[in-house]
Amino acid sequence: MPKTAITIGKLYGKKKLIMLLTAIFGLLSSVIVVVTYYGQNVGSFSIKLDNALTDRQIAISSDKEFAWFDSRLEAASCENATVTSYRFIRPEAVKANDGNYFGTNNAYVGYTFYMKNMGTDAVDIEEYINVSKSTKNLDQVSWIWYFEDDELDGKVYKKEDTLIPEGWDGYLPDYPQTINFLDDSQVAINQITNFLPGQVKKFTIIIWMEALDPDLSDANSGGLINFSVDFTVKDDAI
């Protein structure tokens, strides 16, 4: 399965170089997006539809006009990325760019794609965002900014901070109200209700390692993390 390698530069001061790997590949049933980063292999995102949704004529594309569509999408690889923070991410630029997007100095990874109901029946879908794999506690410092359709602010997911340094008085005032992961392995569960025939939904995912996260340290260097976003027909939900 292809993967996308992103090499991260120094965190700050004299901290070590870190590798960031991003991959999206099929897992379980229906539409699945898996994001992996902080590794060393080079490859690409992939997004997959399985029979449960293709049988209902659900399609995906990085083209909002659906001039072409498939049951699988592949994104370009990215190398030599740097660590960043929330305030330097430009979600408007990511959302305006279909398909792949890499922030300045490859500091963050974004991908925009579309889902269309090309069938004749409405479908209820449940969405599971999970941590599939994590080493060196990268799940503790990895943030996900998730947008659905025309959301202006989106949702920012992160793990609850565990290491609070002396003098820490919280994130900067312009930081978002974040949503804690549900548990160690599950980020969130969302609902897509009554996905109508002809309807198109837009999804944008932005992933980065947050430089101001108090849990960030050299101990994270060389780690690996996988995120999965699993869309399932509600009756078949996991």
Continuous H helices in 3-150: 51-54, 91-95
Contact 32, 231 (CB under 8 A): yes
Which residue type is seen at 212? Answer: L
Cα separation, 171 vs 2, in Å, equals 36
> What pLDDT was estimated at residue 89?
93
> What pLDDT was estimated at residue 205?
87
pTM for this predicted structure: 0.80
Q: What is the full per-residue pLDDT of the chain (238 aa) written as tens digits? A: 333 333 333 343 323 333 333 333 233 333 444 444 443 222 345 566 777 888 899 888 999 999 999 877 766 655 555 678 999 999 999 999 999 898 887 778 888 989 999 999 999 988 888 887 787 888 898 899 999 998 999 999 999 999 888 888 889 889 999 999 999 999 999 899 999 999 999 999 888 889 999 998 888 777 677 777 777 888 755 5
Which residue type is seen at 45? Answer: F
Please tell me the chain's helix, strand, coil percentages from 3-state DSSP, rounded to the nearest 5.
10, 40, 50
Boundaries of domain holding 20: 4-236
> What pLDDT was estimated at residue 233?
83
Continuous H helices in the chain: 51-54, 91-95
Measured at the CA of 146, the angle between CA 162 and CA 102, to 5 degrees, comes to 95
Q: How many domains does the chain have?
A: 1
Cα separation, 223 vs 21, in Å, equals 9
